[in-house]
Amino acid sequence: VVEAYKQGLRPAVGYELNPWLLGLSKYRAWKAGYHGKVSFLKKDLWKVNLSDCYNVIVFLAPSVKPPLAAKLLAELPDEARVVAGRFPFPSWTPTSTLGQGLEQAWAYDMKEVRRAARREARSDSS
């Protein structure tokens, strides 16, 4: 969230249910001088409406990616970009990648993800 803010993404908001991780995130933001500039909220990502989000950064286990992909496809606008850290979305083709190994990140533009999904659906129905 802090890095997103540093890159000019506003607002920079993180959602976390684990109180320990939530506190750690807030502390790290405060220590880095970003208190009041970034937000960390104790909310369930599955219950948050993401339809007004244009930049989404996720750092979640591979098992969560398929249901999250469905949520993001349903809620995000075409202009949105999703960045996944450490684990890619298995059914999506990234627009770009950066880093390698444990530091790798994949970026996905929702317009392209939807276009590929439509092409795949057409070819499956043929």
What would the pLDDT profile of 23-36 be if each residue is shown by its tens digit? 999 999 999 999 99
pTM across the whole model:
0.84
Residue ranges of the chain that CATH labels 3.40.50.150: 52-125
Domain 52-125 bears CATH identifier 3.40.50.150? yes
Contact 34, 5 (CB under 8 A): yes
- Record the tokens describing residue 117, joined without a space: 């999904």
pLDDT tens per residue, range 55-84: 998 988 889 999 999 999 999 999 999 999
